[in-house]
Amino acid sequence: MSKTVDLNSLTTRELLALHGGTLAELRVRGVVRTANGPAGDYAEALVAKALDGTLAPNSEKSWDVVLADGTRLQVKSRVISNPERPGQRQLSPFRSWGFDSLVIVLFNSDYTVAEAVRLPADIARASASYRSHVNGHILQARPALMRSGLDLQPLLNQEESGEGPGTRFA
């Protein structure tokens, strides 16, 4: 049963408290691991469950999930509220390349998976551009790049719906 909260009636402090409380409950449920915006943690958890991997310890340099065969995955995600705006496809900077594959997860504004792909690290690195002001490489999850990888969207959607091999997020 879904409960609706009238967000317009809440003060800014009440909205922030609701956000903090929501993140705390999502941490208890194992959906997110930090108090950061939930997209990154949620994407990492989905990928780990869908691919039967293990999450890295918080703040692990360069990778987020390790698979049973030792493959290290870096997971990058974005919430895309307006697909027509190309800037919304810019991923957070890469400051190291100590991973084997990159998984990009693009969420719709309701956190359903819009697109998800797995790419070899060398493809990701070749597609990224160094930016000194962020001391890292920037990658745009453009449609051509997303088409060049292994499509994981069906698998992640299956995991989201509770029909995948991992445990459904309750």
Statement to judge: residues 76 and 153 lie in one domain:
yes
Statement to judge: residues 108 and 136 lie in one domain:
yes
Which residue positions in the chain have pLDDT lower than 50? Answer: 167-168, 170
Could you tell me which residues come within 8 angstroms of residue 82 by beta carbon, excluding any fewer than 6 positions away? 88
pLDDT at site 166: 57
pLDDT at site 81: 80
**Domain-located, residue 168:** no
Cα 84 to chain centroid, rounded: 20
* Number of folded domains that form the chain: 2
Structural domain range at position 73: 39-160
pLDDT at site 26: 87
pLDDT at site 168: 46
Could you tell me which residues come within 8 angstroms of residue 94 by beta carbon, excluding any fewer than 6 positions away? 74, 124, 125, 128, 136, 137, 138, 139
Q: What is this structure's pTM?
A: 0.83
What is the spatial distance between Cα 97 and Cα 10, in angstroms, rounded to a whole number?
43
Looking up residue 62, the CATH number of its domain turns out to be 3.40.1350
- Residue 80 is which amino acid? I
pLDDT at site 34: 73
Structure tokens at 22: 């929501």
Statement to judge: residues 11 and 95 lie in one domain:
no
pLDDT at site 170: 42
Statement to judge: residues 19 and 94 lie in one domain:
no
The answer to whether the beta carbons of residues 105 and 51 sit under 8 Å apart is no
DSSP 63: -
What is the spatial distance between Cα 97 and Cα 91, in angstroms, rounded to a whole number?
15
Statement to judge: residues 75 and 127 lie in one domain:
yes
Statement to judge: residues 61 and 96 lie in one domain:
yes
**Domain-located, residue 22:** yes
